[in-house]
Structure 1
Amino acid sequence: MQLVLFCGIQATGKSTFYQQRFFHSHVRISMDLLRTRHRERRLLELCLETQQCCVIDNTNPTQAERAVYLAAARAAGFEVVGYFFQSVAAEALVRNQQRPPERQIPDKGIRATRNRLELPTRAEGFDQLYFVRVLNNQAFDVTSWQDEI
């Protein structure tokens, strides 16, 4: 069983990465879809109880926010894999403008998340940790986290 935890500001490719890599194997848990923390928590609990692989597709910018998921996954015996998405605000703002209007995030929201962003560490409890860069044509470059530090 595996819980995948995405970290990074909005408009850095997290949901596209999910669609390409995990759509057929992992349940997507996302505030964009569920809209409330209560719903999110219930779906996470269900995945953990039923041993269903899942992806937490949120920004998860701080260690404290990530700790909630890490603790729950660990208690359920899940492997935890983290993906940190390169979070350059200027690039995210450009990508955000290319989204359909109903999916755009206010610029101040992207900047606020960037200001809160804390780099993840293996010490938080990740079994594996990766760094993801967005390339052209919705492609991604994924490297082991220790290669980036």
Structure 2
Amino acid sequence: MQPQATLLIGLQASGKSTFYVQQFLHSHVRINLDMLRTQHREQTLIACCLELRQSFVIDRMNLERNRRSGYIQAAQAAGFRIEGYLLESNLAACLERNRQRTGKQHIPELAIRGSFKKLELPSLAEGFERLWYVRQLPAHQFQVTPWEEQ
């Protein structure tokens, strides 16, 4: 079976990490810069997944095409199937969910607003084999539908 590289795309507090746990925890390595703390560690773990042909998820905002392109190019070169999941990034909803966070999980509102301005919608032309749109429902549930490019 062809390994998969998955990019989660969305604002802070859009549900990316919760979605990872529900959908990919038992099948994909989670690559999360908040946990790894350095770009070097992130790149090392990605290289290891590519070499071992281990499916992985990039659990970051991935808001801009140029930010996503490095992951996509590396995965394509290694023969991985590449999918993207755009998590609904409604600014008001993300700000409200962020208000419920405490400690290091709470993000300054200004940072979320700044991120919202950077969001570039994904496209199959970037190298994704498939794109999905993820809506967060009540009680930490998600609805996943094929992404219809705008």
TM-score category by the smaller chain?
A: over 0.9
Measured against aligned partners, the alpha-carbon deviations of 1:81-131 in whole angstroms (never above 9, x if no partner) come to 100011111110110111232211111111111111100001100001000
Count of paired positions: 148
1:77 to 79, 104, 107: 79
Taking the aligned partners of 1:48 and 1:97, their CA distance within structure 2 comes to 37
Counting aligned pairs with the same residue, the percent is 49
Deviation at 1:30, TM superposition (A): 0.5
Amino acid at match of 1:2: Q
Q: Aligned-residue CA RMSD in angstroms?
A: 0.9
- Name structure 2 gaps, 5 residues minimum: none
Deviation at 1:31, TM superposition (A): 1.0
> Which SS does the other structure have where 2:12 is aligned?
coil
2:133 to 131, 134, 139: 131
> Which SS does the other structure have where 1:132 is aligned?
strand
Amino acid at match of 1:45: A
Amino acid at match of 2:26: H
Aligned equivalent of 1:8: 10
Q: With the length of structure 1 as denominator, give the TM-score of the two structures.
A: 0.96
Aligned equivalent of 2:56: 54
What is the correspondence of 1:29-108 to structure 2 with a 5 Å cutoff? 29-108=31-110
Deviation at 1:73, TM superposition (A): 0.2
Moved over 3 A (4+): none
Measured against aligned partners, the alpha-carbon deviations of 1:37-85 in whole angstroms (never above 9, x if no partner) come to 1111111111001100000000000000000100000000000010001
